[in-house]
Structure 1
Amino acid sequence: MSYYPFKPIFILIYSCSGVSSGRRLKTVSTENKNNSINKTFTASLSKKQLTFLKNANIEPNEHTIYIEAFTHSSFLNEHQDKTIASNERLEFFGDAILEFIISEYLYENFNEFSEGTLTSWRSQLIRGNTLSAIAKNIGLGDCLFLGKGEEINNGRNNISILEGAMESLIGAVYLDLGMTHAVKFVLNSLEDEIKNLTDNEIIIDAKGELQKIFQAENLMPEYVLKSTDGPEHSPQYLVELILPSGAKVEASAGTIQNAEKIVAKQALELIKEN
């Protein structure tokens, strides 16, 4: 069972400030009862936005918090209705939730790695380029309320806007549905990025660990290129490594460097098995 120390802290902050998510949503809903934003923006989610949330496995209880998550400040600069806020505060909040979720996941699942490695991984996973790429891939940009200027300047594909929208959405999920749902959304969204990053780093670490084993035998691992196959534009390199025991391990990849990393990982697994 996961332990989420942030949750009581966030509840305390919101309670002390008198701005609980439920109270804020109720207030916004009441104020919007007879008033839409500039006659084109009503406090309800569009069919496109609801479809987006469904595809993201988000079943909202309170719609207004998601409208806020979808609302960029440029839109409100052109619409003076004050009953809907931009997503800037949610962005701030969601950034903290995201960092905690990734930190806990890495801490719980990669206990053999140092603080420096985990910090590096977390930075790569929560950086703007990563978040904006995910937001673009899941179609978040198409759900945003943007000002005319941002529309003209291709704001729906703007890295900064998409990063902020992703963080805002994470904050909205947490406030509406709780930490468990926020964790699922974040880890599902970042699943491929986490796997690619950690698999690559684990392979690199295996090469260094293997070298230590060889050095204990006064040896150095020697990676031998055995063959090159495939077309010129997409070659496959076969690399062989002989272990101190005399056993041979082979692996192939699209580059010699990657083949060496893979063969090192396989060699290390073989040594540990024996």
Structure 2
Amino acid sequence: MASAQVRSTATELTRAQQRARDWAEIQERMLVPLYEAVYQRLEVGPATSVLGLGCRSGLALLLAAARGAEVAGMEPEGELRSLAQGRRLRVLADVHRDASPGAPPPTTHSLVTAFENLYCAADPQALVRSAARLTLRGGHVVLATWGPPERCQSAGVLEVARRLAAPAATSASASASAGRRRGRGRRYDPFGLSAPGKLESLVVGAGLRPDGSGRVSCPFAYPDLESAVRGLLSTGAYDAAAAYSGEALVVKELTEALHPYRREGGSVRMANVFRYVVAQAV
């Protein structure tokens, strides 16, 4: 029994590492227009200290560093954090718990971003309050999420994640068991914060002052169907569905959902819009 458990753990670790690599190699570049739009709007440069919350493998931080900014990140998932650290980025699991003695206090950041983790956070308001605490007075917090579903061709593809996840009536114990087996058991709602005023209410609830917003076109484009499936699976959006319905079924239905977006030559492209809100720490 013990040897079987070891083999199972090794398989899970290998899958997690592959998902992290797929994110870094395929998926993370899809949000580059969002990162660049925010950095241009806030004139990110040598005078800026950026903290990325949920920075994953760190591409947004690399782009800020290329503008001369001082950058740091927080990423709880070990495989993604290792990739970010391999890019010579200072990325911790938790900026409070992991700060080394003598390091600058955590509230030294003029810009704190939540580009990719707000809409999948268990408690978005708590995340925004944490971002506010980590921002210098007069500095900015940027929150981002999917735009309206009718403006996002990926909405139908993401519906696979919702449809194949455990129904709301599933018992808490069953959901917890699924979470232990696959790492995440919570249902994914990518458009839960997309309605008008949702991001602004989080800003106000954290004691921040709204300071503008914007929408950015972020097409999801892949060279082939296999890359599209791997890239989308790497987001974590389908983890709860895989835990409940099995990964094979998720891959099958995801592949079918992507077919309408295939182009001549086999590439896949979906037009999407992301929305961001800028808030000032007061």
TM norm structure 2: 0.28
Larger radius of gyration: 1
TM norm structure 1: 0.28
Larger RCO (CA within 8 A; separation ≥ 6):
2
Structure holding more helix per residue: 1
